[in-house]
Structure 1
Amino acid sequence: MGIQDELRETVEKLVQPGKGILAADESHPTIAKRFKAIGVESTEENRREYRSLILSTPGLGDFISGVILFEETLGQKSLDETPIPMLLESQGIVPGIKVDKGKKPLVNAPGEEITYGLDGLDDRLEIYKNQGARFAKWRDVFHITDTLPSQQAIEANAEMLARYAALCQAIGVVPIVEPEVLIDGDHTIERCARVSEEVLNGVFQALYRHRVQLEYMILKPSMVTPGKDSPKASPEDVAKATLSVFHRVVPAAVPGINFLSGGQTPDEATRNLNAINGHGPQPWELSFSYGRALQEPAQHAWAGRLENSAATQQAMLKRARLNGAARSGSYTPDMEE
């Protein structure tokens, strides 16, 4: 199978109707913070146990098309000694991998950041692909204030995303391009919309420059929402603002938009996705790629105890099923019960 065929096959699997992507790629510091909240130490064995439980949830493949893994997890085996990529493939789920190396301050741009990890990425991608990964993810973040993000930050981060995406496609790995407009702050939904449009415009200009094939990538953006320190917007307001921005700047050639949850609660992320899809068919498949918004109930159910396996998997499947319904605009709040 040629590279183009590999890319096409992976994309088709990732954008299946009724399904979304699970982000289970938390770095060691992030997973330690999540585990601390439930009173669990973040050891390699505890991480393996928890991730093995959620990824082996019976029926998960009915609602999850792909899972973004952390490098450690990609090389691990499940509790029954099945390699994690094989475990996912047995449920029809595509294994993916987070490839960026985290963010640092952007030089000469106070208050802004840039993501690192391009050095040696081509070699790492070959290794990850041999381990079973068929898609990758790279995240850049954009802070919102009255003056941020600057054009310098937008262009610098967009360049990194585009170079990463080009490297992925060159070896047959589908890139998930994640420009996260952070929810931190007290900005209005209107301010978020303006920044989101500027960021996405910069990202697609960079993708064009690097000749990234838009048909073989997935966009993982933020929804357009007010800052977390501002009054919340209704799901309908979020839907209208988000779709308005995306219609202006996201080319129809992009097959799928899988929203990040970005600080939203599990039910809030589901309600907002449902409202967006309630507006009917769009040029792209509109789905989810949630981390905490999918996993938080399962983590609390698990609480570091293997005897809670059934409850953990039930909680995981429930949120996956609810977001699968929101994928088509058929979610209703009574389904939470």
Structure 2
Amino acid sequence: MQESQFEKMKNGKGFIAALDQSGGSTPKALAAYGVKEDTYQNEDEMFALVHEMRTRIITSPAFDSSYILGAILFEQTMDSKIEGQYTADYLAEKKGIVPFLKVDKGLADQSNGVQLMKPIFDLDETLKRANERNIFGTKMRSVIHEANPEGIKAVVDQQFEIGKQIIAAGLVPIIEPEVDIHNPEKKKSEDILKAEILSQLNQLSDDQSVMLKLTIPTVANTYKELIQHSRVLRVVALSGGYSREEANQKLKENNGLIASFSRALSQDLNVKQTDEEFNAALKEAVDSTYDASVNK
């Protein structure tokens, strides 16, 4: 399975769906879906509701491996079931979609113009469980707010240090140093980021591969060298707060860059929609995101 999934991620046509809203972002995701905060009384009820939302997305006929290569899951989703199967098994076996797991614990406070990841104290245990749950790869996010070379280097160093631990556990890390779209020096930040990533990639051995999840760059094809690098399995783009229409338009300008959208993918979905309405809205999102990812 791992070998076929590796091949699919490297050469397949499509995009990655990000279904990994965590504790902090789940209330916003539910609210956007039409589920108000007074609907649930505690965290368990909240996570049960968001799993219902994710289940509805994943089981929809619009959630199709002809368009979607992979899906990023939240930890609780990995341990939850869909139609009697653990979510990753359902994705892989029923849908033919490669499962990933968000492993970071959120962001530290801003320092040197960036937000590093909080310490991941239980990473070894999480990776062990991820292997037991047949997860293919992981994802972890940092954020760059300013063009601070010291801060950006710290972000990339941390990402690759943990990434190597993930590789050693037999999984493929998605390294996500997001450049905030409101960063006043976004282009300069992207240039510094690219140089730091290239430096780290060039230090990887032949048996080490990573994926990158990056903000769509200010200048189209800025990340061409990263996309073509022998140690990079795939480069995917986050929507970063852009609407789906704007994100897709920007994505089309970047050859070889494919989508990994969260909010932009689910922005038109609502809990009150009939199945027919829900599936039609999701199909429109999937089709347009696929088109932006492959037709260029």
For the superposition of Structure 1 and Structure 2, which TM-score range results when normalised by the shorter chain? 0.7 to 0.9
How many Å apart are 1:22 and its aligned residue? 0.4
Say if 2:203 is the partner of 1:201. Answer: no
Q: Contact conserved, 2:9 with 2:233, CA < 8 A, in 1?
A: no
Give the deviation of 1:70 after TM superposition: 0.3
1:171-224 deviation digits (Å, cap 9, x = unpaired): 221111111110125x3xxx4222101012113323444x36587221111112
Aligned counterparts, 1:121-132, within 5 A: 121-132=123-134
Q: Which amino acid letter does the alignment assign opposite residue 27 of structure 1?
A: S
Contact (CA 8 Å) 1:77, 1:83: kept in 2 or not? yes
Match of 1:175 in 2: 173
**Aligned to 2:235, which of 253, 257, 262?**
257
1:324 positional shift = 1.3
- Report SS of the residue matched to 2:167: helix
Give the gaps of 5 or more residues in structure 1: 226-240, 278-284, 331-337
Which residue number corresponds to residue 43 of structure 2?
Answer: none
Partner in structure 2 of residue 18 of structure 1 = 13
1:136 aligned to which of 138, 141, 148: 138
Residues 1:96 and 1:207: Cα distance change in structure 2 (over 3 Å): same
Please tell me whether the aligned partners of residues 19 and 287 of structure 1 are also in contact (alpha carbons under 8 angstroms): yes
Within-5 A mapping of 1:287-326: 287-298=258-269, 302-303=270-271, 305=272, 308-326=274-292
- Runs (4+) off by over 6 Å: none
Q: Which digits, 9 at most, give the CA deviation of each residue in 1:33-76, with x for residues without a partner?
A: 12224243462221121100001111421111110000011111
- What runs of 5+ residues in structure 2 fail to find an aligned partner? 41-45
C-alpha distance after superposition, 1:273-328 (max 9, x if no partner): 22324xxxxxxx42111111111112xxx33x4x6333223222221121212222
Give the corresponding residue for 1:280.
none
Number of equivalences: 285
Q: Deviations over 1:133-192 (max 9, x none)?
A: 111001111003xxxx3222112111111012111211221111111110125x3xxx42
Deviation at 1:10, TM superposition (A): 3.1
TM-fit CA distance, 1:111: 4.8
Once the two structures are superposed, the pairs formed by residues 1-16 of structure 1 within 5 Å of their partners are: 6=2, 9-16=4-11
The corresponding residue for 1:328 is: 294
Equivalent position to 2:118, from 116, 119, 128 = 116
> Which deviates more, 90-99 or 163-172?
163-172
Q: Tell me which residue corresponds to 1:164.
A: 162
1:181·1:221 contact (CA, 8 Å) conserved in 2? Answer: yes
Change (3 A) 1:198 1:132: same
In the alignment, what sits opposite 1:40?
36
State the one-letter code of the partner of 1:98.
K
CA drift at 1:115: 0.6
Tell me which amino acid in the other structure corresponds to 1:57: S
Matches within 5 A, 1:216-231: 216-225=209-218
Summarize the Cα distance change of 1:289–1:17 in structure 2 as closer, same or farther, 3 Å threshold. same
TM-superposed deviation, 1:249: 5.9
Cα root mean square deviation, aligned: 2.3
